Amino acid sequence: MSILREEGGVAWLNRAARAAIVRARRGFRNDSSNKERWHRLRGCFPGQRAFLLGNGPSLNRTPLHLLRHEVTMCFNRFELMFERLSWRPTMYAVIDDRVARDTAEQINETARTVKFAFFPDLHPYNVDFTRFIVAADNVYWLHLDSLAFRDDLPRCGINKTVANVGLQILGYLGFTEIYLLGVDLDYQRQGSIVAHNRRDLTATADDDPDHFDPRYFGMGRQYHRPRMEETFAKFREAREFFEARGVRIMNAGVGGRLDLFPRVDLRRLFSDVDVSTELSWLLEPVGVRAVGTSLAETFPRARRIADPRDWDAGAPELLTSAALGARIVPRAVFTHVPLGPFRDEYVFVRRAQDPHR
């Protein structure tokens, strides 16, 4: 009903018509092979834990290097984080029709790096993902025709956010502990955008404040305006759906507004990782060998700064506190690889050029 209220009867009828077309088109498709592949996936990770990674700015305050040996699921433009990590996600999903068409090249590249990739075959807005997403042995097609949470995949509820699709996939695969990271839900209004209507937006500058990287929905990128009231309602449904099935969902993220799930401290889950090992995991992406047990010891020539105004884009290395480092990341990613937080430190290592557009 929000579509009818916010966008009017014409938009509502248009979307209803497109959804009807999708159902008709699917009736003519032979999906038996995809369904059989999904059947083989069911329960293949019984009783295990997984980490579902949103893309909120709190990821810049999260020690993601600790997830090196964990099962992880990521979404959309998470590839912007790859240069900071010594690991690649286990699973990947994209369901937004506007994002998928706009970044198909990056999506296909990311899909090749993961064990499992998930996409709708026909999006409810009658967008055929199979035309621009490359089919592969690790690609599984979803049927996003439902508005409810489901456990009979590939039928899957779209439920306002790709994170809720991810939860249904993880539940289907047998995970019984799911930790959320970076699912912040405290969206700000991006300053540099063109609004085509109440739903469809295009950014005109690299100033995205709602994700871990300002280029996420940066210059020229297309996306949808989130409806937060409905998103929170769907997360409440998720909590009830998974609790009834013995799946524990916990929020291990830093801050954010998603308090519907119990909060846990991520570091407590990795208390057995010693400092030297953790430091080596953090530094592996830039090929630097750890010295001692701190970033200060490893980068003795790094310029130390205690104020954002002291940022120097030309410096080979800059060292900050963890809190300041997280604040500086949106500026730093254009010239440096951010590494952190590590304990109470952050380091920024200059690279030759920006590899991401």
CA dist., res. 275 & res. 291, Å (int): 11
Determine the pLDDT at residue 15: 67
Determine the pLDDT at residue 353: 64
For residue 17, what are its two tokens?
Answer: 């018509």
Determine the pLDDT at residue 348: 98
Determine the pLDDT at residue 30: 76
Burial of 205 (0-12, 13-18, 19+ CB in 10 A): middle
CA dist., res. 79 & res. 85, Å (int): 10
Determine the pLDDT at residue 7: 56
**Cβ within 8 Å of residue 179, ≥6 positions away:** 49, 50, 51, 52, 250, 251, 252, 264, 266, 269
- Per the DSSP assignment, residues forming a β-bridge with 222 are 202
CA distances for 94 relative to 4, 218, 277, 296, angstroms: 26, 18, 33, 39
For residue 280, what are its two tokens?
Answer: 């080596």
Determine the pLDDT at residue 4: 47
- Other residues' Cβ atoms within 10 Å of the Cβ of residue 287: 7
Determine the pLDDT at residue 146: 86
**Residue pair 165/117 in contact by the 8 Å Cβ criterion:** no
Ramachandran quadrant class, 21 (left: phi over 0; alpha: psi -120 to 50; beta: rest): alpha
Chunked into runs of 10 residues, the chain (357 residues) has average pLDDT values of: 56 68 73 95 98 98 98 98 98 95 96 98 92 97 93 94 97 98 90 84 92 94 86 96 98 97 97 96 97 97 97 97 98 97 97 62
Q: Checking DSSP bridges between strand 155-157 and strand 139-146, what pairing results, if any? A: parallel
CA dist., res. 25 & res. 293, Å (int): 59
Residue 292 CA, chain-centre distance (Å), reads: 33
Instruction: Write down the number of H helices and E strands in the chain.
Output: 10, 17
**Cβ within 8 Å of residue 303, ≥6 positions away:** 312, 315, 317, 318, 319
Determine the pLDDT at residue 357: 47
